[in-house]
Amino acid sequence: AQTVTQSQPEMSVQEAETVTLSCTYDTSENNYYLFWYKQPPSRQMILVIRQEAYKQQNATENRFSVNFQKAAKSFSLKISDSQLGDTAMYFCAFMKGRNAGNNRKLIWGLGTSLAVNP
Amino acid sequence: DGGITQSPKYLFRKEGQNVTLSCEQNLNHDAMYWYRQDPGQGLRLIYYSQIVNDFQKGDIAEGYSVSREKKESFPLTVTSAQKNPTAFYLCASSIDRGSSEQYFGPGTRLTVT
């Protein structure tokens, strides 16, 4: 069975600095997707970034980038130039690839609470 | 604006009562999902639906029921059989069941006393 582990329950960073959130996962699949979701105090879940396992290039979305290490089963999120609005819970999630059929689901980590301090 | 709406934001019920949570989407997505979120835990899948008039149990379906009579709507009923119904409930949708990207509504906080 797939598992997702986020080893940092809480983190903090000063505004404008860079922070990296860790995520490791366990799977025997070769094709899969990895995600980072953000849940701000409003509690709406927002997709931050998505990585397809077959792509070696790390995904980037503006100030958000990932370090995807497939062999190590590691998928960290780097937030550059942190802003107060980045304060949120961040969840790492895993999903099998399309070749696994339609009966796939998101497997979630327990989240990392990030506080951006002024 | 396209999106997913859930109403109400906060819901209070007495123990022993059934309650229905609303989820509507205008994204023209085929697949819809219900998740439950408890403090200190990740999201857990309750039910999902790939297409109208079809739905499947997720990991924690006991005490819940759903219907999918319209593409746009996927209401969740929390029955009196659910032992610990107080939680935050999130609805999501995706283009189809094979799609990897899910989009979430704002959630409903249900408190049962």
Strand, helix or coil for residue A107? strand
Q: Which of A43, A32, A31, A35 is nearest to A6 (CA)?
A: A35
CB contacts, 8 Å: B102 with chain A: 47, 106
What is the least distance, in Å, from the CA of B56 to any CA of chain A?
A: 10
The three-point CA angle A26-B32-A85 to 5° equals 70
d(CA A86, CA A106): 23
CB contacts, 8 Å: B7 with chain A: none
Which of B49, B94, B101, B102 best probes binding to A when mutated, by most A CB atoms within 10 angstroms? B102
Per-residue pLDDT, B37: 95
How many A/B residue pairs have CB atoms within 8 Å? 50
B63 at A interface, C-beta within 8 A: no
Q: Which residues of chain B have pLDDT under 70?
A: 1-2
Per-residue pLDDT, A103: 66
Q: Which H, E and C letters describe B70-92, residue by residue?
A: ECCECCEEECCCCCCCCEEEEEE
d(CA B35, CA B111): 16
Chain A segment 78-117 residues within 8 A of B by beta carbon are: 91, 95, 98, 102-106, 108-111
Task: Determine, for residues A108 and B43 on separate chains, whether the beta-carbon distance falls below 8 Å.
Answer: yes
Task: Determine, for residues B106 and A42 on separate chains, whether the beta-carbon distance falls below 8 Å.
Answer: yes
Per-residue pLDDT, A69: 96
Mean pLDDT split into 10-residue runs, chain A, 118 residues: 93 98 95 94 92 92 96 97 97 87 82 97
CB contacts, 8 Å: B56 with chain A: 103
Per-residue pLDDT, B1: 61
